[in-house]
Amino acid sequence: MVPDSRISQAAQLLQQAKHTVAFTGAGISTPSGIPDFRSKGSGLWERYNPMEVASLSAFRYDPDKFYKWIQPLALTMIEAEPNPAHFALARLEKAGLLAGIVTQNIDDLHRRAGSEIIFEVHGHLREATCVSCYSCHSTNGFIEEFINTGETPHCPECGGVLKPNTVLFEEQLPYDIFMGAANLLSQSDLIIIAGSSLEVVPVASLPVGPLNAGARLIIVNNYPTYLDERADVIFREDVAVVLPRLVSEVLGE
């Protein structure tokens, strides 16, 4: 049960803010059936060593192993549907009360829920780039075949291995997207962190500057984060329950 007092307090912050930004992580998509990375008992990194399956060097050494690992996860993402938390943020943006979303997720659920201003700082699965000729290709033509067969996709132009446009460990973040996210957050006077452990840097450090400049902070996350002590309101309850209630309160529904 989410206390009405905290919902009201967070709603007041939203109503007073002029530039609110949402910062989301894997936890916002777990209600859609997509596992996160660090939850005890279910996180992906409890079952796999990320440097062995999801690092740039591991991909270059054995792309087949990478694709074998990501196949079931890709299927889960494609079959997943946006949950009430995604739709709540889309409603908030449509109402003119959310300037945009900075997300660590690669699942595309924010876009599918109707959000428009999204900075995917860890990339996405909509495109892939050839490691040999560097040509970029939409994954629409081969991702379904890959999921069905598990075979490593190859470039239609040169035959090289295609790498999804997601950011692996050891890999640099997309500069334009990262700077766009930093700029969006730098203008914020309220940040809503939803479903992020704030453990993956440098993205996890992005809220610090705005907070130092006076921005307020709402956190919706199952586990503590390093920014909890700076939060105005903290929710440990289900993000798919909290965000819809919060948005309904703000919109007077």
End-to-end Cα separation, the chain, in angstroms: 19
Bridge pairing between strands 136-138 and 123-130: antiparallel
Bin 125: left if φ > 0, else alpha if -120 < ψ < 50, else beta: alpha
> Which SS3 state, helix, strand or coil, does residue 137 take?
strand
What is the number of alpha carbons within 13 Å of residue 211 lying toward its C-beta? 18
- Asked whether the beta carbons of 18 and 98 are under 8 A apart, the reply is no
Which residue in this structure is represented by tokens 């993956």?
Answer: 200
* Cis, peptide link before residue 202, omega less than 30° from 0: yes
| The two three-digit tokens of residue 176, written as one number | 């334009």
- Asked whether the beta carbons of 23 and 193 are under 8 A apart, the reply is yes
Determine the Cα–Cα distance for residues 127 and 137; give it in Å rounded to an integer: 5
Give yes or no: 19 in active site.
Answer: no
Angle at 207 between CA 205 and CA 208, to 5 degrees: 70
Residues, the chain: 253
Catalytic residue selected from 19, 86, 110, 122: 122
The closest alpha carbon to 110, from 127, 125, 90, belongs to: 90
Residue numbers annotated as active site:
122
